């Protein structure tokens, strides 16, 4: 059986490595957001962020890393 919290959070994956985002204590997930050349926002691990930057992909500096 899937918990209601897991259903609410979904199954967030890193856009770069396609592994699950890190669950943080107290709820939610920790991640960084980047925007690709088409303007789509993606979630990535903190470590994966430096690997995806470039070729039109840029970080979003105005938003915090942890999910709401």
Per-residue pLDDT of 11-63, as tens digits, reads 788 999 999 888 888 877 889 999 999 999 999 999 999 999 988 999 997 55
Beta strand segments in the chain, E = 22-23, 29-30, 32-35, 41-44, 58-59
pLDDT of residue 39: 92
Is 68 contained in some domain?
no
pTM exceeds 0.75 for this model: no
Any domain includes 64: no
Residue 67 is assigned to a structural domain of this protein: no
Which are the contacts of 58, defined by CB distance < 8 A and separation ≥ 6? 34, 35
Q: Dihedral of the CA atoms 40, 2, 4, 49 (nearest 10)? A: -30
Task: Look at the chain and report how many structural domains it folds into.
Answer: 1
Phi and psi at 60, nearest 5°, equal -100, 110
pLDDT given at position 62: 53
Tallying the residues shown for the chain, one arrives at 68
Would 65 be classed as within a structural domain?
Answer: no
Both tokens of residue 38? 């088409």
pLDDT value at residue 5: 57
Q: Which domain holds residue 54?
A: 4-59
């Amino acid at each position: 059986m899937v918990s209601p919290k897991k259903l609410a959070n979904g199954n967030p994956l890193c856009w770069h490595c396609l592994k699950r985002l890190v669950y943080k204590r107290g709820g939610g997930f920790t991640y960084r957001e980047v925007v690709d050349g088409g303007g789509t926002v993606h979630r990535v691990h903190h470590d994966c962020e430096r690997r995806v930057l470039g070729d039109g992909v840029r970080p979003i500096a105005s938003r915090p890393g942890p999910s709401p």
